[in-house]
Chain A
Amino acid sequence: MITLLTENTMLAALLALVGLGTLFGGLLGYAAERFKVGSDPIVQQLDELLPQTQCGQCGFPGCRPYAQSIADGDAINKCPPGGQSTINAIANLLDISAPSLDEEHGEEEIRTIAYIREDECIGCTKCIQACPVDAILGAAKLMHTVITEECTGCDLCVEPCPVDCIDMLPVVKNINQWQWSAPANHADLIATTASGIHEDAA
């Protein structure tokens, strides 16, 4: 056997490679099974990343159906409330490149909250039926009002209102919500003035 191998170098090389390949392939296969990490189903993970405004701007009736569609291969850049940061997070999860937001589905705007002008409200409950998170309090012929803590700013309530008394107001930050912004990195500014940097230090 040994002489056969030493005399037929090609055979020896072939056997060696096949043998090593089988050995390592077997080891890897075993390791893949034995040390498998159980993970969440991908739809659940995708749903966790979406902003849950349930606004429908992506074309799906809610965030979960869109998550399902992404898992089935749909484009990941259809969610305006999520914005670019959500697209990046989804791209990171799925290990694909992150495209920019698809303008057809809307633009990323600042966060807004619905506000019902109570003087004009006629108590028709159409907005209550439209709100995907039940953030509007009220009943037929009784005053309707938006529970601001629960409103996601999806603006699905604006259309159905027959007297058009719902405004989408931007969320104003007060002193408690203020945070430091990252420093402007002068070293990275592409177009700097000739004298450079000293005007506006740090």
Chain B
Amino acid sequence: MRRIWNAPGGIHPPDNKAQSLISGIGHLPLPEKLILPLTQHVGTAAKTCVLVGEKVLKGQKLASANASISAPIHAPSSGWVTAIEERPVAHPSGMSAPCIEITCDGEDRWIERVSYPDYQQASALQLRNLIANAGVTGLGGAGFPSAIKLDGAAKKHIDTLIINATECEPYITADDILIRERADQIIQGIDIISHLLGRPKTILIGVENNKPEAIAALNLYCHGTNIEVVTFPTKYPSGGEKQLIYILTGKELPSGQLPADIGIVCLNSGTAFAIKRAVIDGEPLISRITTLTGEACGINRNYEVLIGTPVSHLLRQNDFDQDLCSRLIMGGPMMGMSLASSEVPLIKTSTCILAPSHTEIPDDDPAQACIRCGLCSEVCPASLLPQQLYWYSRAKDHERLQSHNLFDCIECGACSYVCPSNIPLVQYYRSSKGDISNSLADKATAAVARERFEFRQVRLEKADNAREYKREARRLSTEQAKLASPSAVQSTGSSAADIIKAAQLRGITKQASPEQQRAKLERTLLAAQMRLDEAEQRLLQVTNKGSADQQTQQLASVEAAKRKVEQTTQRLTEVSH
């Protein structure tokens, strides 16, 4: 028995998993349209590489990875591209994001797939490129591009590979059912990853003890390999990466570092499956297992859904009753996001669609005063003081928030869950994190602006000095010329007057033709009149609602504009004659 450690804090909400495990993985009929957001992962949005109207095949690349942290998007079914525009997506803001819409032609025809069943012969770099091109991202819910995680790990020595089959959140059973039905493929995927990482010494699959069938399936296929299946007591949130690493290895991930920095790589079991599909079957990531659950749906089941399937399609196939449902959640009850509409598409990170009834998840009671009971700090898995973070968040005290390690909060929601006063703690922390990030970003831009300003001062000074220098040099040279031939100067008369006259002569000969002059002056007059109109309009505004200072200022501007118009008119009449 491998030793396990007990992570601090944690809660034991009711599992609610049995209802979606009655049937196996189901399949939905093909939806009419598929909507693929360009951002389904952590990092920069993918860049479109198809045009509206283009015919695409299943598995064809629609958008390629853009910039250093990104992932490509592939067509989940054959059809043609009907739109590339902003569409509502699953996001707490309810805002829209750029999406590619595909209308399915019903044929579901695959593009030519290139597989590497002989992956042991391929190099790590080749495999990573394959995985990157397949658009594999973390399927546990975070959505970090897996190839980039593996890239980063390649530069370090990895001695432990952890496969996260914990699925600690209530209601979600996607990983559970995937393991029960396809454990052999998952183990294959793990082997690919292990090969890619240079065969780490220890390979662990962490599972909670509320999944006996999954554990049995894993044990069956891990028999004879060096993969160890480790079970531990059920507690939320043991499935968080930091918590799982601690439970399985006793090591704490230092704040701000990545698991690769301490020789560990952690991947979800569904991601391992997707990697197997990408490498051995040559299939890009175009589908995932999503749990559909909640009392507002007549059927509770796991489905292998195509990425981009609208949530409404999924709900309609499962007897969704809108009146029974208190809110629609994408994800689990602890960390899922509430949806503003059911027309949003399922994406690579959609582990679950939860449609609870009013008795399952009632409307939130209004928040009461915090009584400082400390239940929140008892359950915090990161050993923070959520109570103090709450007070400092209300006070917007950024310094104290940082000294209490606000950014170590994993937003698991355990504190909010137990709060007897119903305070939405996680929302406070999220908004404070945003405030602090914004103020840091503002400081950074201010620093850049300051640098540019100072550089500009230096530049202007230099220009002034250069001018001064030239002026001095010219003055000296004319003086020297004077001294050199005093007779020559006298013959031409007073040098200053002559120089001026010569300059004037040059000016006159260089002068444009009268037509050109007039045209130029007419243009200037037009512009000056426009400015006068503007200034007078603004004067009217300011007279009505501006201060006395503003009025005098504006009056002065109007005067200046008037003078300019008069001047230009005068010169125009002069030139015309």
Main secondary structure of the interface of B (DSSP, over half): helix
**Interchain CB contact under 8 A, A164 and B530:** yes
**Interchain CB contact under 8 A, B456 and A197:** no
In the assembled complex, the Cα of A62 lies from the Cα of B364 at a distance in Å of 50
Which B387-407 residues sit within 8 Å CB-CB of chain A? 393-394
**Interchain CB contact under 8 A, A63 and B91:** no
B216 at the interface (CB under 8 A from A): no
* Most B CB within 10 A of own CB, among A134, A152, A175, A202: A175
**Interchain CB contact under 8 A, B363 and A183:** no
A98 at the interface (CB under 8 A from B): no
**Interchain CB contact under 8 A, A51 and B442:** yes
A15 at the interface (CB under 8 A from B): no
* A182 interface neighbour in B363, B393, B459, B530, Cβ under 8 Å: B393
**Interchain CB contact under 8 A, B446 and A202:** no
**Interchain CB contact under 8 A, A52 and B447:** yes
Instruction: Known A51-B442, A63-B450, A163-B530; judge A133-B427 contact (CB<8 A).
Output: no
B366 at the interface (CB under 8 A from A): yes
In the assembled complex, the Cα of A52 lies from the Cα of B422 at a distance in Å of 42
**Interchain CB contact under 8 A, A185 and B367:** yes
Q: Which residues of A contact B446 (CB under 8 A)?
A: 50-52
**Interchain CB contact under 8 A, B369 and A150:** no
**Interchain CB contact under 8 A, A179 and B449:** no
Hey, what's the 0/1 contact readout for B76-113 against A, CB within 8 Å counting as 1? 00000000000001011101110000000000000000
Chain B nearest CB: distance from A1 CB in Å?
Answer: 54
* A181 interface neighbour in B431, B447, B453, Cβ under 8 Å: B431
Q: How many residues of B contact A (CB 8 A)?
A: 48
Q: Which residues of A contact B369 (CB under 8 A)?
A: 187
**Interchain CB contact under 8 A, B364 and A201:** yes
B198 at the interface (CB under 8 A from A): no
B119 at the interface (CB under 8 A from A): no
Which A150-187 residues sit within 8 Å CB-CB of chain B? 150, 152, 162-164, 174-175, 178-183, 185-187
* B450 interface neighbour in A52, A122, A197, Cβ under 8 Å: A52
In the assembled complex, the Cα of A64 lies from the Cα of B456 at a distance in Å of 14
Q: How many A-B residue pairs have CB under 8 A?
A: 101
* Most B CB within 10 A of own CB, among A174, A179, A187: A179
What is the size category of the interface that chain A forms with chain B? 35 or more
Chain A nearest CB: distance from B97 CB in Å?
Answer: 5
Chain A residue with minimal CB distance to B368? A187
Chain A nearest CB: distance from B405 CB in Å?
Answer: 19
* A163 interface neighbour in B363, B453, B527, Cβ under 8 Å: B527
B424 at the interface (CB under 8 A from A): yes
In the assembled complex, the Cα of A152 lies from the Cα of B369 at a distance in Å of 41
In the assembled complex, the Cα of A179 lies from the Cα of B422 at a distance in Å of 22
* A54 interface neighbour in B422, B432, B449, Cβ under 8 Å: B449
Q: Which residues of B contact A104 (CB under 8 A)?
A: 547, 549
Chain B nearest CB: distance from A42 CB in Å?
Answer: 17
Chain B nearest CB: distance from A23 CB in Å?
Answer: 36
**Interchain CB contact under 8 A, A62 and B453:** yes
* A201 interface neighbour in B97, B366, B430, B549, Cβ under 8 Å: B366
A80 at the interface (CB under 8 A from B): no
Chain A nearest CB: distance from B425 CB in Å?
Answer: 9
* B534 interface neighbour in A48, A164, A186, Cβ under 8 Å: A164
**Interchain CB contact under 8 A, A183 and B428:** yes
Q: Which residues of A contact B448 (CB under 8 A)?
A: 150
Which B401-440 residues sit within 8 Å CB-CB of chain A? 422, 424, 427-428, 430-435, 437-439
Which B436-492 residues sit within 8 Å CB-CB of chain A? 437-439, 442-443, 445-450, 452-453, 455-456, 459
Q: Which residues of B contact A141 (CB under 8 A)?
A: none
**Interchain CB contact under 8 A, A183 and B452:** no
**Interchain CB contact under 8 A, A178 and B366:** no
Q: Which residues of A contact B450 (CB under 8 A)?
A: 47, 52, 63-64
Q: Which residues of B contact A43 (CB under 8 A)?
A: none
* A53 interface neighbour in B430, B449, B534, Cβ under 8 Å: B449
B562 at the interface (CB under 8 A from A): no
Instruction: Known A52-B453, A175-B96, A201-B365; judge A162-B527 contact (CB<8 A).
Output: yes
Chain A residue with minimal CB distance to B429? A180
**Interchain CB contact under 8 A, A133 and B453:** yes
**Interchain CB contact under 8 A, B453 and A183:** no
8 contacts between A and B (CB under 8 A): A163-B530, A179-B434, A182-B432, A186-B366, A196-B366, A197-B366, A198-B366, A202-B364
Chain A residues within 8 Å of B, Cβ to Cβ: 47-48, 50-54, 62-64, 85, 104, 122, 132-135, 150, 152, 162-164, 174-175, 178-183, 185-187, 196-198, 201-202
Known contacts A85-B439, A104-B547, A174-B95; 14 additional CB pairs below 8 A are A48-B443, A51-B442, A54-B449, A64-B450, A133-B449, A134-B452, A175-B93, A175-B96, A180-B431, A182-B427, A185-B367, A185-B394, A197-B366, A202-B424
In the A-B complex, list the 5 residue pairs whose CB atoms are closest, starting with the nearest: A179-B434, A197-B366, A52-B446, A133-B452, A180-B430
Chain B residues within 8 Å of A, Cβ to Cβ: 89, 91-93, 95-97, 363-369, 393-394, 422, 424, 427-428, 430-435, 437-439, 442-443, 445-450, 452-453, 455-456, 459, 527, 530-531, 534, 547, 549
